[in-house]
Amino acid sequence: MKSQLNGANFQRLIEPLRQRVAPLWQKVEAYYGQRPRWLLAIHAIAGMAVLGVFSLFILAVLIYTGALGRLPGYPELRGIQNYNASEVYAEGDVLLGKYYIENRINADFEEISPDLINALVATEDARFFEHGGIDLRAALRVVVKSLLLSDESSGGGSTLSQQLAKNLYPRRDYVMLSMLVNKMREMMIARRLEKVYTKEELLRLYLNTVSFSENIFGIKVAAQRFFNKAPGQLSVEEAAVLVGMLKATTYYNPVRYPERAQERRNLVIGQMARYGYLSDAARDSLQALPL
């Protein structure tokens, strides 16, 4: 009896609302009932698109305001410092050993081979000197060529500045939205990095930050480990090997997997020729070299 009474009360409460909504609902049914299905489909797609854009806007606001984790400010970004290994020398400049948290010796931009810079830009971010941290054209190209056409030469969707942001501030777990939120965070940090540093400073910071597996950090230690050279002495093909490792440092390790490393090196050399850093003849001769 009590449940029936409650049900009757509920019906009486919602009846005025139902009467107000009913005419509006009849108009909606009349409008859409006279429309072809393809038009209804377009309306549905447009509605979902608007909802998606609005959701992205809200998500961007939450990220920007720090509701989903603090974003580094400009003072923090200006003060970035990588861990540097301490080297112990005996008399006569004989290296006795090193102690470190991360095995890294920072290199100045002037110490880095131009061929290495060219290989990095051609492979990872061909429009690096043109954009301000975010390259929407490159991202669209990757979606079309990599996902639809399975073309691995299309490069990565993230700019070097976005990759640097990812290396400096590791990704967090946001459950189902992890990829989207982290990508948007990296875009925002990349924009701030571009305002703090010059392009040359960003390249130096990037090459000093990246890992080359085997607890090797930065281009200076990597060049010494794999080629027993300073980064300014690397040849084109050697620079291409190290840049090629950045895609997957263990998988393309030239010591452990020389065939994979050579294949990846040749792809990097091909990218250098594609963007005008090498002639076609130089590309062919370099790709023919053993590792």
In a domain? residue 32: no
Whole-angstrom distance, CA of residue 249 vs CA of residue 212: 5
**pLDDT digits over 140-154, tens only?**
776 565 445 555 555
Residue 25 lies in a domain: no
Asked whether residue 31 is assigned to any structural domain, the reply reads no
Domain termination residue (choose one: 47, 67, 87): 67
Q: d(Cα 69, Cα 59) in Å, to the nearest integer? A: 12
Tens digits of per-residue pLDDT, 205-229? 999 999 998 889 999 999 999 999 9
Say if residue 52 is in the same domain as residue 173. Answer: no
Name the amino acid, one letter, at 100.
Y
**The amino acid at 76:** E
82's tokens: 């990588």
- Give the pLDDT confidence of 80-107 residue by residue, as tens digits: 888 766 666 666 666 656 555 678 899 9
Mean pLDDT estimate for the chain: 85
Domain for residue 22, yes or no?
no
Chain center to CA of 263: 23
Looking at residue 160, what is its pLDDT?
Answer: 96
Residues 6+ apart with CB under 8 A from 195: 74
Neighbours of 62 (CB within 10 A): 14
Domain that holds residue 251: 74-287
| Co-location of 60 and 96 in the same domain | no
Please write the tens of the pLDDT for every residue from 146-189.
445 555 555 557 899 999 999 999 888 888 888 888 989 999 99
User: What is the number of residues in the chain?
Assistant: 291
* Residue 167, domain member (yes or no): yes
Q: What is the CATH number of the domain that holds 274?
A: 1.10.3810.10
| pLDDT recorded at residue 157 | 73
113 and 213 co-located in one domain:
yes
Examine the domain organization and report whether 63 and 86 are in the same domain.
no
In which band, very low, low, confident or very high, does the pLDDT at 28 lie, cut at 50, 70 and 90? low
Residue 230, in any domain of the structure = yes
Q: Are residues 81 and 63 in the same domain?
A: no
pTM of the model: 0.78
Kindly state whether residues 139 and 158 are assigned to the same domain: yes
Among 13-27, 116-130, 230-244, 255-269, where is mean pLDDT lowest?
13-27
| Mean pLDDT of all residues in 260-287 | 97
Contacts of 205-208 with C-beta under 8 Å, sequence gap 24+, read 205/80, 205/82, 205/164, 206/120, 206/160, 206/163, 206/164, 206/167, 207/107, 207/112, 207/116, 207/120, 207/231, 208/82, 208/104, 208/106, 208/107
Indicate the number of domains in the chain.
Answer: 2
Categorize the per-residue pLDDT at 2 as very low, low, confident or very high, splitting at 50, 70 and 90.
Answer: very low
